[in-house]
Structure 1
Amino acid sequence: MELQTPAILKTKPHFEILDGLRGVAALSVVTFHFMEMAISDYSKNFIGHGFLAVDFFFCLSGFVIAYAYDDRIGKMGVMEFFKSRLIRLHPMVIMGSVLGLITFLFDPFGGHPELYSTGRIALIFLCSILLIPFPVVTERAFNLFNLNAPAWSLFWEYIANIFYAFILSKLHKRWLLLLTLLMTVPLCFVCYRTGNLMGGWSGGTFWDGGARVAYSFLAGMLVYRFNWIIRSKLGFGLMLVLVFAAFIMPFSKWNWLTEPLVVLFYFPLIVALGAGAKLSEGLRKICVFSGKISYPLYMTHYAALWMFGNYYASHKPGTTEFSVVVITSVILLVGVAWLVMVFYDIPVRRYLGRKRIADG
């Protein structure tokens, strides 16, 4: 007998253009990570602001969480909310850690696993799958998560979800607005102090991540709570151009000003426009696929990035070879992400969902 999903646990219809934009942001992050391995001067990197895709993710997450749970978290309860989020997010946290461990131990282009004892490597892996920051690997710039660098944003996503469950979901929208305005201060301070909003991923920039998620997650919630959805005939193509423009804007001495402006105003505007834009039938499948692949791609790609960094340092490829390797790698990583999604992520989440219903 097939188990029926309780109505309170069913997924709401998606904003498909926002799903498509999430995929664009994920591809931008992947491309940015390849480019920064080779070009340390971000002003010479054509996608030098690709890291702002994380702030877009945070804003989008605030909007989606408010949309999906504001009207039912009181009925489903905090624990069921946490179960929903863990089932949705954590399988890929584990897979990203496993892939990261494999490339840490068996990188054909370099790396130094011999510098770490079996016990230390086991502890690094355990912290990675449990999302416990543990910045101890020197040659990886003391990333919070040494085996899967992008997991730092998932750590803060979890923190935001905890605050949502206990506080933000109950907060009147006027107080939410005030709190969001207050969170502009740490965001602007971080950017002014460091010259950019690139931090949050390492032990030395840990709290920068808190400032980034605090504002953007709240801003996304505001767009939903105040119904700032802008109905228009803008299609996915134009929305893609608008969001990608933020990632390729010039990297300059004015970052301390331009980056906060993008995060404070532009990304919430993109979310508001994307939620109200019209999607043509011809692009619907692309947006759906883009949305589905975005999270697996984001959480699996960095295992290959460590190897690419060692390859680049040891082989010093020319422009043509570099371009071919990067383009080929991005295509292959999308393929790997699809395989992981189809044969691991979706089946595991379905199994956990069925078990949750059966146990409930």
Structure 2
Amino acid sequence: MVKSSSAFVDSKRHFKILDALRGVAAIVVVLFHVLEFYSGGDHVKQIINHGYLAVDFFFMLSGYVMAHAYDDRWSTMTYKDFFKRRVIRLHPMIIMGMTIGALLFYFGESNMFPKIADTSTWQLILITLIGYTLIPVPPSMDIRGWNEMHPLNGPAWSLFFEYIANILHAFILRKLSKILLGVFVVLAGIALIHLAVSSPQGDIIGGWSLEPEQLQIGITRLLFPYMAGMLLRRTIKIVRTRSTFFISSLLLILMLCIPRIDGYDNLWVNGLYDALTVILIFPIIIYLGAIGEIKDKISERVCTFLGDISYPIYIIHYPFIYAFYAWLITEEIPIEIGFWTGLGLVIFMIILSYAILKLYDEPVRRWLSKRFMKK
């Protein structure tokens, strides 16, 4: 049997199809960002239009997996043990992502990132050290020009909210009854729908800045999917069946790649699509992934590989995207060349992610586990 990447000897059996779906979503995110430049900042023209919803899928998947992995362990597990596990699992790659962001920072210099040219080395070092802690920086400390809470590696905002979810999970959410958790899920779903249909751009994109509006978007995008994932794990009995990888992957890709709904005419319609995708379709995809059983070695290897690279490629890809955008701007690269170069970049990042996983992430996590976890 091919084992999924884990540093803990007592880890529960993985839902390998769910792991693979995380990988599929992560690759779609990378393609979304590679092609985003050619939309000219217009969300309606975005080629892989709903790739941003992968973050909401990650949050729901995280809630499901966290409930599965930990909710029956609290009689023997301390808060300290729980948080050490989460830091060991997530933080080595956060540090790697920030390091890559620092190394590639000046390669992103262009009029798209107006603050890079005026950023000194000591400012870069300071932001890198802060980034290692995942403490967000305010817009006043931005060194790129996009007001990101993590200007060296924009997608790290979702890991910041993942840590918030873990804190809520440990101290509050795990203690809720299914009924009370269900009430909170309904309320969070209403908030998500309101965010989506009232959005001035007709979507739920956002969450990456310490600005109040962005924080509201981020917490709204976090709460429903994470709690819904927990509730799904608690309430729906899992009965193993045939492999569901193909159908669940196809459905996920379809929901992330479907063109903009109703264009400029009724922006709220696309917002409603976003909300209903998260509320109705993502639980179905996760359920299909959870009940699926892999029965041949090739499928098992594919699913394991996709699961293994899912987190590394997500957390390291964006520094390369910054540099890619700068190259597209300064050289005025047409989409015909930019697409194929971007596709090559995606392949490169898949290979690099696997190499970093095996040469850095897994060894570091094993060492940290042996050093800091109870025997």
Q: Above 0.5 in TM-score? A: yes
Corresponding residue number in structure 1 for 2:149: 144
Query: Per the alignment, do residues 234 and 285 of structure 1 end up closer, same or farther by CA in structure 2, a change over 3 Å counting?
Result: closer
| Distance apart, 1:179 and its partner CA | 1.0
1:206 match: 215
User: Shift in Å at residue 166 of structure 1?
Assistant: 0.7
Unaligned runs of 5+ in 1: 1-7
Q: 1:280 to 1:140 in 2, by over 3 A?
A: farther
2:196–2:203 contact (8 Å) kept in structure 1? yes
Which of 226, 251, 257 is the aligned partner of 1:248? 257
Deviations 1:294-351 (A, max 9, x none): 0000010011011011011111212321121011000001111111111110000000
Please give the alpha-carbon distance, in whole angstroms, between the structure 2 residues aligned to 1:267 and 1:77.
32
Cα drift, residue 227 of structure 1:
2.2
Paired AA for residue 287 in structure 2? A
Higher mean C-alpha displacement, 59-68 vs 275-284: 275-284
Q: CA deviation at 1:181?
A: 0.9
With normalisation by structure 1, the TM-score equals 0.92
**Which residue identity does 2:187 align to in structure 1?**
L
The 1:288–1:54 alpha-carbon spacing in structure 2 relative to 1, beyond 3 Å, is same
Instruction: Report percent identity of matched pairs.
Output: 39
Asked if residue 268 in structure 1 is aligned to residue 283 in structure 2, the reply is yes
Cα 1:305–1:240 shift into 2, 3 Å: same
2:30 is aligned to 30
Query: Could you tell me how far 1:122 is from its partner in structure 2?
Result: 2.8
Give the alignment of 1:93-242 within 5 angstroms.
93-107=94-108, 113-134=116-137, 135=139, 136-137=141-142, 139-194=144-199, 195-204=202-211, 205-229=214-238, 232-233=241-242, 235-242=244-251
Query: Structure 2: how far apart are the matches of 1:247 and 1:228?
Result: 27
Structure 2 letter corresponding to 1:158: Y
The equivalent residue for 2:3 is: none
Give the partner amino acid of 1:263. V
> Which of 303, 311, 327 is matched with 2:327 structurally?
311
The whole-number CA distance in structure 1 between the counterparts of 2:42 and 2:367 is 46
1:324 corresponds to 2:340: yes
Structure 1 residue 153: deviation in Å? 0.3
Could you report, residue by residue, the CA deviation over 1:25-48 in whole angstroms, capped at 9, with x for unpaired residues? Answer: 000100101111221333333311
**C-alpha displacement of 1:107:** 4.6
Cα distance between partner residues in 2 of 1:117 and 1:295:
31
Q: Structure 2: how far apart are the matches of 1:141 and 1:108?
A: 13
Aligned partner letter, 1:83: K
Question: Quick one: which amino acid aligns to residue 130 of structure 1?
Answer: T
- Range 104-113 or range 132-141, more displaced: 104-113
Give the secondary structure class of the aligned counterpart of 2:12: coil
Runs (5+) with no aligned partner, structure 2? 1-7, 262-266
CA deviations on 1:177-212 (whole Å, 9 max, x unpaired) are 111111113212221232211111133412211111
TM-score when normalising by structure 2: 0.89
Whole-angstrom distance in 1 between the partners of 2:239 and 2:332: 48
How many angstroms apart in 2 are the aligned matches of 1:268 and 1:107? Answer: 38
Distance in 1, matches of 2:10 and 2:91, equals: 19
How far residue 291 of structure 1 moved from its aligned partner, in angstroms, is: 0.3
SS of the residue 1:351 aligns to: helix
**Cα distance change of structure 1 residues 348 and 84 upon mapping to structure 2, 3 Å threshold:** same
User: Kindly tell me: are residues 54 and 113 of structure 1, through their superposed partners in 2, closer, same or farther at Cα, counting changes over 3 Å?
Assistant: same
- Quick check: 276-285 or 168-177, which moved more? 276-285
Instruction: Specify whether residues 273 and 331 from structure 1 end up closer, same or farther in structure 2 by C-alpha distance, changes over 3 A only.
Output: same
Counterparts of 2:186 and 2:47 in 1: how far apart (Å)?
32
Q: Give SS of 2:204's match.
A: coil
Instruction: Rate the CA distance shift 1:228–1:264 in 2: closer, same or farther, 3 A.
Output: farther
How many residues were matched structurally?
352
Report if aligned partners of 2:312, 2:354 keep a CA contact under 8 Å in 1. Answer: yes
